[in-house]
C-alpha cells in the first residue's frame, strides 16, 4: 500500500501540473480553453524533438518549451481569444469553448502532419532507475523530478501572484475588469501575458508527460479530462487547492487500481466528478 500511495502522489503531482494553467485562466479570464490539452501535447513533442535531434535532456529542455509555448499562447490570445473579452461572462465561457474545440481539431491534425500518429516517449538514461525510500517503497527518479517540478511551479506562481505588481494586476482584473481598467491597469496586456503563461504551464506538463508517460497527437484530450475533473474538485483559481485535488485524485486512482485492477481506473475519477457536481447542486 505504501508503494501504491507513492505512485499515487507522483501521478497526482502531474495531474495538478496539468490542471493549474486551465484553472487559472478560467478563474481570471473566464475562458474555458478546451485546447489546453493540445498545448500540453505540443510541449511533449517539443521535448521529444529536442531530445532526439539535439540530445537535450527533457528536463533541461523546459526553458525551450516555455519560450515556444509562450509565443504560441500569445498568438492564440491575440488572434482568437482576445475578441471574446468584452462579452458577458456566460457568452464568454460558451464561445471560448467553441474556439477551443476548433483549436483542438487544428492543432491535433497539425501534430499528425508533423509527427505522424505514432506514440512517442522520451527515454533518457535514468528512465527506470529507482531509489529505496522505505522498506518496500521505491521511488522512480523520474517521479521524484515530477514532484519537484510541480512544487517549483506552484511555489513560483504563488510568489508571482502575491508579491509582484503583475500578480496584483491579475488579481485586480479577476475581481473587476472595469474597475481595474479605471485604476490604470492595462487589462488587455495582463490578459495576454497571463494566457501565454497558461500555455507555458501546459508545455511544462507536456514535458513531464513525454518522460513519465508518452505523447501522441490526440493525447491532449485525455489529460484535458483529468484537468477538468480537478478544476471541479478544487474550485476556480486556487493554486494550492488545485495541487491538492490532483494529489487526492492520483492517490484515489492508485488505491482503486490496487483493489479493482487498472480497467476501472478512469471510472474512479468520473465517479468523483459526478458526486462533487451532485453535492454542489444541492
Q: 3-17, 141-155, 179-193, 268-282: which has the minimum mean pLDDT?
A: 268-282
**pTM for the full model?**
0.92
Distance of CA 9 to the CA centre of its chain: 16
The pLDDT, as a whole number, for residue 73 is 95
- DSSP assignment, residue 88? -
Mean pLDDT of the chain: 88
pLDDT, mean of residues 78-102: 89
pLDDT digits (tens, 9 = 90+) for 149-186: 999 999 999 899 888 998 889 888 888 888 888 888 88
d(CA 139, CA 129): 9
- Domain positions in the chain are 2-281
Residue 265 has pLDDT above 80, yes or no: no
* 8-17, 24-33, 103-112, 264-273: the lowest-pLDDT one: 264-273
The three state secondary structure string of 229-251 is HHHHHHCCCCHHHHHHHHHHHHH
| Cα gap 1→12, rounded to integer Å | 16
Q: What pLDDT, in 10s, does the model give residues 195-254?
A: 999 999 999 999 999 999 989 998 988 899 889 889 888 876 578 888 888 998 988 888
Amino acid at each position: 500500500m505504501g508503494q501504491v500511495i507513492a505512485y499515487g502522489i507522483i501521478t497526482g503531482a502531474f495531474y495538478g501540473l496539468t490542471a493549474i494553467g486551465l484553472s487559472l485562466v478560467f478563474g481570471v479570464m473566464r475562458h474555458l480553453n478546451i485546447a489546453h490539452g493540445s498545448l500540453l501535447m505540443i510541449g511533449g513533442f517539443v521535448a521529444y524533438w529536442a531530445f532526439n535531434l539535439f540530445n537535450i535532456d527533457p528536463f533541461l529542455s523546459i526553458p525551450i518549451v516555455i519560450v515556444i509555448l509562450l509565443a504560441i499562447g500569445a498568438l492564440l490570445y491575440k488572434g482568437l481569444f482576445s475578441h471574446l473579452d468584452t462579452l458577458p461572462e456566460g457568452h464568454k465561457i460558451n464561445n471560448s469553448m467553441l474556439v477551443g474545440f476548433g483549436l483542438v481539431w487544428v492543432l491535433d491534425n497539425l501534430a499528425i502532419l508533423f509527427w505522424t500518429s505514432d506514440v512517442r516517449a522520451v527515454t533518457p538514461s535514468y528512465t527506470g532507475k529507482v531509489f529505496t525510500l522505505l522498506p518496500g517503497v521505491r521511488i522512480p527518479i523520474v517521479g521524484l523530478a515530477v514532484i519537484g517540478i510541480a512544487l517549483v511551479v506552484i511555489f513560483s506562481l504563488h510568489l508571482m501572484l502575491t508579491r509582484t505588481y503583475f500578480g496584483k494586476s491579475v488579481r485586480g482584473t479577476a475581481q473587476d475588469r472595469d474597475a481595474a481598467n479605471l485604476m490604470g491597469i492595462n487589462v488587455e496586456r495582463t490578459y495576454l501575458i497571463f494566457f501565454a503563461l497558461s500555455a507555458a504551464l501546459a508545455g511544462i506538463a507536456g514535458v513531464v508527460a513525454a518522460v513519465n508517460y508518452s505523447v501522441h497527437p490526440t493525447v491532449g484530450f485525455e489529460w484535458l479530462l483529468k484537468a477538468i475533473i480537478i478544476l471541479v474538485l478544487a474550485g476556480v483559481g486556487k493554486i494550492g487547492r488545485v495541487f491538492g485535488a490532483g494529489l487526492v485524485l492520483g492517490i484515489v486512482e492508485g488505491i482503486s487500481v490496487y483493489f479493482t485492477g487498472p480497467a476501472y481506473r478512469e471510472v474512479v475519477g468520473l465517479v468523483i466528478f459526478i458526486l462533487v457536481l451532485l453535492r454542489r447542486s444541492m
